[in-house]
Structure 1
Amino acid sequence: MSKYTRAAPFRLLVLADPQLEGDSSLPNPKDSFLKRLAGYREAITSADTWEDILLAILGSLRDMLLVDLPRSLRATRKRIDLFGNDFYLAHIYRSLHWWSKPTHVTVLGDLIGSQWVTDGEFKRRAWRYWNRVFRGGVRVDDDITITGSEDVHGRDVKVVEDLPLDMQGGDGTTGSTGPWERRIINVAGNHDVGYAGDISDVRMERFDKAFGRANWDIRFEYRASTRDNPATTREGIHSASADTPISTPADPVRVPLSSTTTPSIHVIVLNSLLLDTPALHPSIQQHTYKFINDVIQRRSKPVEDRSSFTLLLTHLPLHKSEGICIDAPYFRFYDQDDPKPPQEHEPRYKAGGLREQNHLSQHASHSGILQGLFGMSGSPNVPAGGMGRNGLVLTGHDHVGCDVLHFVNRSVTPADDPEGAMSPGWSWDATRYARSRSSPSSLSSPLPADTPNIREVTLRSMMGAYGGNAGFLSLWFDSDPSVQEWRYEISTCRFGVQHMWWATHIIAIVTAVLSVVSATLGVWGWMFGEVAAGSNAKGVKGEALGHKSADLAKRTQDAKTRTTNQGRRDGPREDLKRNANDK
């Protein structure tokens, strides 16, 4: 008889920045070894004199040995590396998916390694993504991501699904949690579609077709008849651990959880690459702005509703001061128009367009995300006293990773705040999230209980050079009458560098080859050993028969000899006997 488990009902496997490389990391096809040989042949055969022929031969040999062969070997090594890297990343996904049994999976952008690849190369990398790295995973259907369609702006279109519940049998095995465990929630990264200054309709269309829409949201409702056990250890749980530098949050103006209220998780997938300006196509950027407004105005629960949890999945990290994370705030812009636009196509970028950024701008981070999507504010006169929605932000882009707490800093004065006229007495701030008292943090003391704050986890890359990282997010609803809100715990692990994967598989291949060779030699020796043994046995038997024949012949000859000698001795006696009778 099955029963509902106490495992977290929402378990998200989080991956980031696989960055599948391809032809852009290989030599130009025009410089392939065979084509270079053909060029040398043409140079030699087209020479007019013997002196020119000799010079062409010597020059060709020199270039082939010093340039072409090393480049060809490097290209071969790179092709093998690309092939193996796909399966290294696949090993991470397959092993962690089997071990952690997630209900949902997300990849936080930079699925491929370059936004400048051709459409053909993009399709090849997309094929590798789905058929090698995330084999068994599927794209989220368009009917689920309908809220990201341009046609739904301003309409009351919502996508709501029940959160699947784990069912555990008597043998302790956990059954399937539904189709979401195989769906991959893909987030658009700068290496997939570019930055705002070079994002085009073509890039967005090919990303949408291969990996799913870049903007969409969905709400999962939790309809378990028995809520999660409130008697949960508080160590490692956000905003409840005594070791964190944040005191237990104050209870904001709370909407009591009635019998008709269903706890839910609001997952928002956002293309943050189009939040800052200048953009190449303002119309594409406007679509992202409209999407955010629709989410805020039409599909978000009231800020006071603690039965709802907002989970934002996006690529670019939020703004933070230099020194908090490895990447400092950085913006770069194009200094000229595209000098060589593709034939019969518009320029790929224009002067002044946004070319690169490490973080979102302060305005996009604070007004668009913290204040807009999460409803946080330093003013106590706004809904929920400015505490904002219960939630979490997951980002990628920064390959090293970072764990940050964004909060309202009320210790500043209007003169200290550049925007003091707009927000007197407070400003947005951020610090490293401290898991314990010994963890680094710029805070000298815990935040006051009434300080609005939200955590942002920037996941370290899953690339082998960074250790093959993954994150595990667990969400459960604490039904204690004094709590009645979602709790979460997030942890990360490092799977290991790619060299370990290569070494393991090379050793396995060498062992398999040696085993096959050893077995082949063993069978070969056994077969020919039997033949040799049979031949030796026949030789010994023949030799024994020969000896027996020789002995028999010798005995026969000896018998004949003895008979002859006996006859010679008996002859005179017979003669004497006959003579005696005659007398």
Structure 2
Amino acid sequence: MTPSSVLRHGLQILAPVALILTTYLYLYPVFLGCAFPLPPQPGHVAPSGHRPEPTNSISSPAFHATIQQHLNVSNANRAPFRLLTLGDPQLEGDSSIPNYGFDPFWHLTWAIKHLTYQTWQPSLRFRVKQILHDLIDFWLDDIPNAIEAVRKRIDLFGNDFYLAHIYRTLHWWTKPSHVTVLGDLLGSQWITDEEFERRSWRYWNRSFRGGERVPDDVAMPPADEYEIAGYLGVEDDNAAAWRRRIINIAGNHDVGYAGDLSQERLDRFERVFGKAAYELRFELPITNTTTNSTIYDAQTNRESDRLVPELRLVVINNMNLDMPAVDQGLQDKSYGFLNSAINTASAVEFKGHFTIIMTHIPLYKPEGICVDAPFFDFFDESEGGGIKEQNLLSLDASKGFLEGIYGLSGNPRSPGKGMGRRGLILNGHDHEGCDTWHYINQTLAEGEEGPAQWRAVRWADAIAPLPTTATNDLDSNAPSRIAGAPGVPGVREVTVRSMMGEFGGNAGLLSAWFDEDSWEWRYEFVTCALGRQYLWWAVHIIDLILVVTAVLYAALRAAMASLGADVADRWPGWAVRYVQSWRDWVVKLGERAQRLATPGVSQSPQNGAQNGSAAARKTAATATTTTKAETQKEDQSHNSLKQKPLQQDHAAPVNAPGTASPETKEEKRI
């Protein structure tokens, strides 16, 4: 085959494969049916009284509504608050490269120094010994590490754009109103300031290009008198700005745990990614005059329990809520912020507000609920003795969220009957992700002593339908029947699965809307995963091969047009020789295998010697003149008569006089 035909056939195969894979990769949310959940249609009530859990499907109304948004048909039925949630991108850097900052072949360098007497050694024997050691380490350490360093640099480069592909594609398709990254933006809190700047640049210029940090004058601390950060459901410049902004949460790999969280690490994080603790309040305007008249007003409507619909986003740095902490002052600030968030919340008796907590470390839950179980590790006393690592918050710290910010209580005589405020907790840290329901049963089970204890179950178990025979059986032994049940206050916690390739490139889609009939906020959460990073790499490698093949084919066609096909459409001589050498080797290998597999051929050394002698005789007979050939044939016959007893001793087949053996006939045909 000529070079042009090989390239042409390659293009015919690569082009459709690349087209299909690239189309899927760049439109994967479309093929997977990913979309923000929709509010229920007016007057629509599910037969069971509860909406089924949303799922991604190209046949779902949410998917069809997303298509309509791209066609500019209608935006009326979409949720006013649509939060794209991303967890733990963990951009790695120099700490993951084996020989970063060192001479990649330093063993070879030292071997040369020893060889050229640039180092002192006590004797020649020690010098030779050291040279040999360094040369061995050069082959077994330096070269593998250098190869791994190159591979890791390429991997880091590709990973930045893999994460960017998830953010960019989902942001384009789903059209979120807000975006958050739930901690561990970077891969290590112990990196130098220079490396921090490099990774931060990659974060904003590669992985989340086009995104912006939340301005400091917008990210304000909790207060009784506050400014609205924006209005939901209103398309204006402020809404467009929030679509670009990214609410970055501080994680342990960004600022450290309580044992290594310092003011310097916190300052550099806040300078680049935004404040670590603040609140945002978004108001949903009510345009109906009659409905507006039912809202609480201190002067005209003091009897109402309805507040202006409002979403409260509370960003909390919970990295140092547990003790001991290396910096007590920073821990005091964290608890001061938490208390401010509690004190400025609306009274639990009122309706209309919805609190979303966005933090990093998940709340406490017993082992077996999620992948991460409760775990604490501490620094040595010489290093301060603070927390070195933790999987979950302690139970006491978790109560600050459940009983403080949300006002949930196991005492039915508490304000609001202990049912607390409506809300949702979003966090990361557990790369596998988890979805749980935290609750406290105000009705103690038989034999259970008070006070009631906080419990946690998986969300899927918490929303399981109640058995018809146990409608009132809401004891602690039936945790799968408690979400939303009377006398069982609780709140949902969603730990968003990591967006890293190892965990499938996951993202969460949270929709929240306001139900005017109950005067409460409703929400639904779904996930959308791209898949492992290997898919991203494979598609782009195939695309690259396709482009290179197309360029080569175009260049070859141009050369054929100018120089002629006989001159241009030929393989180089070295390539022809190389291929011919391999072809000859394969042919010889096949002939040898055929001879070995021929029935009746003895594998004894004597028979092998006879075969070798026959081959030598055949070569000599071909090279001589006719007279010499006849003489050689007589010699062969004479030798054959001499060798017959030896062949008979080895059970070789006996032929009739004057008849050549099958091997000899085959050799003569050759």
Q: How far apart, in 2, do the equivalents of 1:272 and 1:7 lie?
A: 33
- Distance change (3 Å), C-alpha of 1:163 and 1:36: farther
From 218, 241, 248, the equivalent of 2:280 is: 218
Aligned residues: 471
Deviation, 1:271, is: 0.6
Q: How far apart, in 2, do the equivalents of 1:488 and 1:226 lie?
A: 22
Whichever residue aligns with residue 292 of structure 1, its letter is L
Report whether the alignment pairs 1:486 with 2:521.
Answer: yes
Query: What is the aligned partner in structure 2 of residue 370 from structure 1?
Result: 402
Query: What is the aligned partner in structure 2 of residue 284 from structure 1?
Result: 330
Query: What is the aligned partner in structure 1 of residue 479 from structure 2?
Result: 443
- Distance change (3 Å), C-alpha of 1:140 and 1:446: closer
Deviation, 1:277, is: 0.8
Deviation, 1:164, is: 4.2
Q: How far apart, in 2, do the equivalents of 1:93 and 1:141 lie?
A: 21
Q: How far apart, in 1, do the equivalents of 2:419 and 2:331 lie?
A: 29
Superposed, 1:377-392 pairs within 5 Å as 377-392=409-424
CA RMSD of aligned residues (A): 3.0
Whichever residue aligns with residue 105 of structure 1, its letter is V
Query: What is the aligned partner in structure 2 of residue 159 from structure 1?
Result: 227
Deviation, 1:437, is: 3.9
Whichever residue aligns with residue 263 of structure 1, its letter is P
Q: Work out whether residues 361 and 427 of structure 2, in 8 Å CA contact, stay in contact via their aligned partners in 1.
A: yes
Report whether the alignment pairs 1:10 with 2:81.
Answer: yes
From 303, 308, 311, the equivalent of 1:262 is: 308
Q: Work out whether residues 465 and 481 of structure 2, in 8 Å CA contact, stay in contact via their aligned partners in 1.
A: no
Residues 390-449 of structure 1 show CA distances to partners (whole Å, capped at 9, x for unaligned) of 1100111111111100111235469856xx4xxx3x22111111176499x962544532
Q: How far apart, in 2, do the equivalents of 1:407 and 1:56 lie?
A: 67
Query: What is the aligned partner in structure 2 of residue 325 from structure 1?
Result: 370
Q: How far apart, in 1, do the equivalents of 2:425 and 2:508 lie?
A: 13
From 145, 165, 177, the equivalent of 1:91 is: 165
Q: How far apart, in 2, do the equivalents of 1:455 and 1:365 lie?
A: 13
From 496, 500, 503, the equivalent of 1:466 is: 503
- Distance change (3 Å), C-alpha of 1:58 and 1:196: closer
Q: Work out whether residues 193 and 204 of structure 1, in 8 Å CA contact, stay in contact via their aligned partners in 2.
A: yes
Larger CA Rg, structure 1 vs 2: 1
Report whether the alignment pairs 1:122 with 2:196.
Answer: yes
Query: What is the aligned partner in structure 2 of residue 429 from structure 1?
Result: 455
Q: How far apart, in 2, do the equivalents of 1:334 and 1:46 lie?
A: 46
Residues 297-325 of structure 1 show CA distances to partners (whole Å, capped at 9, x for unaligned) of 13x22212221110000101111111111
Q: Work out whether residues 9 and 163 of structure 1, in 8 Å CA contact, stay in contact via their aligned partners in 2.
A: no
Q: Work out whether residues 348 and 416 of structure 2, in 8 Å CA contact, stay in contact via their aligned partners in 1.
A: yes
Query: What is the aligned partner in structure 2 of residue 556 from structure 1?
Result: none
Q: Work out whether residues 406 and 455 of structure 1, in 8 Å CA contact, stay in contact via their aligned partners in 2.
A: yes
Whichever residue aligns with residue 465 of structure 1, its letter is E
Q: Work out whether residues 354 and 422 of structure 2, in 8 Å CA contact, stay in contact via their aligned partners in 1.
A: yes
Q: How far apart, in 2, do the equivalents of 1:255 and 1:395 lie?
A: 37
Whichever residue aligns with residue 419 of structure 2, its letter is M
Residues 441-477 of structure 1 show CA distances to partners (whole Å, capped at 9, x for unaligned) of 9625445323111100111110100101100000111
SS of residue in 1 equivalent to 2:563: helix
Identify, as 1 or 2, the structure richer in helix: 2
Deviation, 1:527, is: 1.5
Query: What is the aligned partner in structure 2 of residue 237 from structure 1?
Result: none
Q: How far apart, in 1, do the equivalents of 2:542 and 2:465 lie?
A: 41
SS of residue in 2 equivalent to 1:210: helix
Q: Give percent identity, aligned residues only.
A: 48
Q: How far apart, in 2, do the equivalents of 1:106 and 1:510 lie?
A: 36
From 409, 413, 437, the equivalent of 1:405 is: 437
Query: What is the aligned partner in structure 1 of residue 469 from structure 2?
Result: none
Report whether the alignment pairs 1:184 with 2:250.
Answer: no
From 465, 486, 493, the equivalent of 1:456 is: 493
Q: Work out whether residues 482 and 488 of structure 2, in 8 Å CA contact, stay in contact via their aligned partners in 1.
A: no
From 138, 143, 149, the equivalent of 2:212 is: 138
SS of residue in 2 equivalent to 1:272: coil
Q: Work out whether residues 407 and 453 of structure 1, in 8 Å CA contact, stay in contact via their aligned partners in 2.
A: yes
Shifted more, 2-11 versus 489-498: the winner is 2-11
- Distance change (3 Å), C-alpha of 1:470 and 1:30: closer
Q: Work out whether residues 435 and 492 of structure 2, in 8 Å CA contact, stay in contact via their aligned partners in 1.
A: yes
Query: What is the aligned partner in structure 1 of residue 352 from structure 2?
Result: 307
SS of residue in 2 equivalent to 1:262: strand
Deviation, 1:355, is: 1.5
Whichever residue aligns with residue 287 of structure 1, its letter is K
Structure 2 length-normalised TM: 0.66
From 110, 116, 131, the equivalent of 1:45 is: 116
Q: Work out whether residues 166 and 175 of structure 1, in 8 Å CA contact, stay in contact via their aligned partners in 2.
A: no
Whichever residue aligns with residue 208 of structure 1, its letter is E
Q: Work out whether residues 10 and 163 of structure 1, in 8 Å CA contact, stay in contact via their aligned partners in 2.
A: no
Q: How far apart, in 1, do the equivalents of 2:428 and 2:305 lie?
A: 34
Query: What is the aligned partner in structure 2 of residue 245 from structure 1?
Result: none
Q: Work out whether residues 16 and 470 of structure 1, in 8 Å CA contact, stay in contact via their aligned partners in 2.
A: yes
Query: What is the aligned partner in structure 1 of residue 641 from structure 2?
Result: none
Q: How far apart, in 1, do the equivalents of 2:303 and 2:78 lie?
A: 27
Whichever residue aligns with residue 195 of structure 2, its letter is E
Q: Work out whether residues 147 and 157 of structure 1, in 8 Å CA contact, stay in contact via their aligned partners in 2.
A: no
Q: Work out whether residues 305 and 349 of structure 2, in 8 Å CA contact, stay in contact via their aligned partners in 1.
A: no
Query: What is the aligned partner in structure 2 of residue 359 from structure 1?
Result: 392
Q: How far apart, in 1, do the equivalents of 2:253 and 2:543 lie?
A: 35
Q: How far apart, in 1, do the equivalents of 2:508 and 2:282 lie?
A: 21
Q: Work out whether residues 259 and 388 of structure 2, in 8 Å CA contact, stay in contact via their aligned partners in 1.
A: yes
Q: How far apart, in 2, do the equivalents of 1:411 and 1:115 lie?
A: 45
SS of residue in 2 equivalent to 1:146: coil
- Distance change (3 Å), C-alpha of 1:37 and 1:194: same
- Distance change (3 Å), C-alpha of 1:444 and 1:185: closer
From 545, 570, 578, the equivalent of 1:510 is: 545
Q: Work out whether residues 412 and 427 of structure 1, in 8 Å CA contact, stay in contact via their aligned partners in 2.
A: no
Whichever residue aligns with residue 113 of structure 2, its letter is E
